[in-house]
Structure 1
Amino acid sequence: MAATSAFIDIPASTDQVWQLIGGFNSLPDWLSFIAKSEHGEGGRLRTLQTVDGTVIVERLQTFDNAGKTYSYSIVQAPFPVTDYLATLRVEAQGDGSRVTWSGQFTPLGISVEAAQELFAGVYQGGLAALRSHFPG
């Protein structure tokens, strides 16, 4: 099993950040490469479509509104990994917030380093996109 994570500090309260990212179906609101997200199974499943037409299906595994965190697994995606589980978390950091996006997975047909690099890029790019929604 491999793992990677990324974080970013944002000059906004945890409540403000969580309001934007805390909905499991809210990725298109802050992640520009996700064109749309459709929910199913009472909100526990999301079908994402990227701007290039790629489809990714993810399942909500845990959700803690008070703790401002949720975890999800991949049901279907073109990524060369299995057993994927990721967590998105918002925590107080000084006068603002720290958002951490982390994941664990088993590489499939690629090296551990290549899989870690792939998801580190996804997480870092996604967090940079999130940060752009909070000027200051």
Structure 2
Amino acid sequence: MASTSVSRIVPATPEKVWALVGGFDALPDWLPYIPESVASEGGRVRSLKNPEGEVIVERLVDFNETERHYSYAILQAPFPVDGYVSTIRVHAVPGRPDAAEVQWSGRFNPKGATEQQVVDLFTGIYADGLDALNATLAG
């Protein structure tokens, strides 16, 4: 199983960041490459579309409001992986009440691609996503 993780310090309190990213169906609010999300099964499944119209279906598998993190599994996607589970976490930054650390991590089995190709793919997706989150919060 392969894995990757990206983190970034963003210019907002952990509470404000979690209010933006903590909703499982909230990706379009801060992630430009996911312009559409439709919730189903009581909000536990989200069907996403990217700008190319590709569909990604994900299921919420863990959610912790108090500790500000959730995990999800991919049910359907155009990615060369299976067994994908990802987690988004928001942490306080000691001594910086106006900032938060956001960590986006995932583990997965490459399928039809090398481990390095898949690690690079998701490292890029997470880094681009956290850059977009930072821009949303700074704007």
- Shorter-chain TM range is over 0.9
RMSD: 0.9
Structure 1: which 5+ residue stretches go unaligned? none
Q: What residue is the counterpart of 1:27 in the other structure?
A: 27
Question: Could you tell me how far 1:52 is from its partner in structure 2?
Answer: 1.4
Identity across the alignment (%):
47
**Count of residue pairs brought into register by the alignment:** 136
Aligned to 1:135: 138
Q: What is aligned with 1:48?
A: 48
Q: Supply the distance in 2 between the matched residues of 1:52 and 1:93 (Cα, whole angstroms).
A: 36
Q: Which consecutive aligned stretches of 4+ in structure 1 deviate over 3 angstroms post-superposition?
A: none
- How far, CA to CA, are the matches of 2:138 and 2:74 in structure 1? 32
Local SS of the residue matching 1:66: coil
CA distance in 1, matches of 2:58, 2:107: 14
Deviation at 1:21, TM superposition (A): 0.4
TM-score (norm 2): 0.96
Task: Output the CA distance in 2 between the equivalents of 1:74 and 1:20.
Answer: 21
- Letter of the 2:72 counterpart: Y
Amino acid corresponding to residue 12 of structure 2 in structure 1: A
Unaligned runs of 5+ in 2: none
Paired letter, 2:109: T
Aligned ranges 1:10-89 → 2 under 5 Å: 10-89=10-89
TM-score (norm 1): 0.98
Match of 2:81, as an amino acid?
V
Deviation for aligned residue 1:51 = 1.4
State the 1:48 CA deviation.
0.2
